Amino acid sequence: MKKNVIVTGGSKGIGAQIVRELAELGDNVILCYNNSEQEAKQISNQYSNVDTFKVDVTKRDEVKKLMEYCVEKYGTIDVLINNAGISQIKMFSDITDEDWNKIIQTNLTSNFYTSQECLKYMVKEKKGCIINISSIWGQTGASCEVAYSVAKAGLDGLTKSLAKEYGLSNIRINSISPGIINTQMNSKLNAEDIEKIKEEIPLNKIGETKEISKCVKWLIEDEYTTGQIIGINGGWYI
C-alpha cells in the first residue's frame, strides 16, 4: 500500500538513497533539505511522487510547518525517517560550546522536534512508523567524535522510550545503526584509513547506502518490530 513518507536530510548520502528506494516503490515522499537545494531538486525531478521541502529541523516552528504541509497535501503522515545529521572529528579537549550545541541540536534535539510534532498526527490515526538513522558510535562511542556519539546514543534512547510509550497506539519506532557507509560524510577518510577500518570488519568491506535503504523498506513493511537498534555494519560491532 502506498505510504506518505517524510525523509529529513534527504538530499545526499543515505537519505537520498532512501528517497529513491521508496519513490521507486510508489510511495509519496517529501524530501527535506536545508542547504542542498540543487541536490534535492535533482532527485525530485526524477520522480513525480517526490516533493521537496526546505526545513531547518533544529527549529520547531519550521518542523511544525513541515508536518502541516504533509497532512494538508496527503492527508496523513505514515512514515517519518529522521536522517538529518552532521558529524565532527575533534579532540574532546578542543570541543567548544558552539560545537557541542550544534552537534546535539542537529543530531538529537531535532529528532525530539520532528517526532513530537509528527506523533500528534500518527496518534489520531492509530498507526505510524518512525525510523531513526543512528550510528554505530551511538552504541560503542568513538574517539574524537564525542559529541556525535553522545547524540546518537541519545537517539537510541529516544527510540526505545518512544516505542514503549506509543506501542498501544500501533506506532512502531526503530533505529538503524550503520557502521561505516560509502557516503560524502566519510569521504574525508583516505585510502589508508579505509583499509585499516576494513581489517576490523568481519566482512572486510565498506557498506553502501542501499544496505540502509533496504532495511528502511523492511521496517516500514514489518508490523511486529519496534524499539530495536538494528546494526548494519558488516559485523564491525558484534
DSSP per-residue letters across 152-221: HHHHHHHHHHHHHHHGGGTEEEEEEEE-SBSSGGGTTS-HHHHHHHHHHSTT-S-B-HHHHHHHHHHHHH
* pLDDT of 183: 82
* pLDDT of 194: 86
Say whether 148 is catalytic.
yes
Q: Are 47 and 70 in contact (CB under 8 A)?
A: no
Taking alpha carbons only, the member of 202, 207, 203 closest to residue 186 is 207
Low-confidence residues of the chain: pLDDT under 50: none
* pLDDT of 127: 98
Rounded Cα distance between 2 and 180, Å, is: 31
| CATH number listed for the domain at residues 4-232 | 3.40.50.720
Q: Spell out the alpha helix ranges (H) of the chain.
A: 13-25, 37-44, 60-74, 97-104, 110-125, 137-140, 146-166, 191-200, 209-221
Name the residue ranges covered by the structural domains of the chain.
Answer: 4-232
* Catalytic member of 148, 166, 224, 237: 148
Taking alpha carbons only, the member of 199, 165, 194, 163 closest to residue 180 is 194
* pLDDT of 192: 85
* pLDDT of 154: 98
